[in-house]
Amino acid sequence: MQQKPGKLLIFSAPSGSGKTTIVKHLIQTIDGLTFSVSATSRGMRTGEQDGKDYFFISSDEFKKRIANNEFLEWEEVYSGSYYGTLKNEVDKLLQQGKHVLFDVDVLGGINIKNQYKNQALAVFVKAPSIEVLRERLQNRSTDSAEQIQNRVEKAGFEMTYADKFDYILTNNDLATAQKEITTIVLNFINA
């Protein structure tokens, strides 16, 4: 009997919504989930491994792969510094029957969903309000006031895309949100 192909689980959210914490919870809780490893043109940092943390490729190689339409989604985050998701890596995992989990920006999430349609569940994670989001970003103590303001403004833009996702998860309380999304994900992958 041929193995059933895997499914895609796409998580997108404004910074400070709790998306990464929720994604880590799902990976630890549900068997058979594999985190999508992105490609990048930036240099490898100490302790990082090619193929585990990122697929490290040169800027020129990245541009060639863009031209060859080899990415599900990609973005030039900083001048000359590209990040993206390689189609062939995702398809390889799906053919092995693995469920691939993505932690991507909003536009990247919509792009992946549009390519895989019903084989993908797209989840938008949001804070209960912009004020709560701002508070969470301030409590992190990792960004300057200007960076926080930029993230809050970007969040307003990103939230206009929430209705393009299959499910909107409001993270009022982390434990409740984790329980809710675990049920949604299990129902999707077992359907």
Given a cut of 90, whether residue 172 has pLDDT beyond it is yes
Mean pLDDT throughout 125-144?
88
Q: What share of the chain has pLDDT > 70, as a percent?
A: 99
Query: Whole-angstrom Cα distance, residue 122 to residue 2?
Result: 26
Does the domain made of 8-190 have the CATH classification 3.40.50.300? yes
Residues 6 or more apart whose CB falls under 8 angstroms from that of 176 comprise none
Q: What share of the chain has pLDDT > 90, as a percent?
A: 71
Q: Would you place residue 3 in the very low, low, confident or very high pLDDT band (cuts 50, 70, 90)?
A: confident
Q: State pTM to two decimals.
A: 0.87
Domain boundaries, given as residue ranges, for the chain: 8-190
Given a cut of 60, whether residue 1 has pLDDT beyond it is no
DSSP 89: H
Query: Whole-angstrom Cα distance, residue 100 to residue 37?
Result: 10
Given a cut of 60, whether residue 38 has pLDDT beyond it is yes
- pLDDT number for residue 15: 84
- pLDDT number for residue 178: 97
Query: Whole-angstrom Cα distance, residue 52 to residue 78?
Result: 22
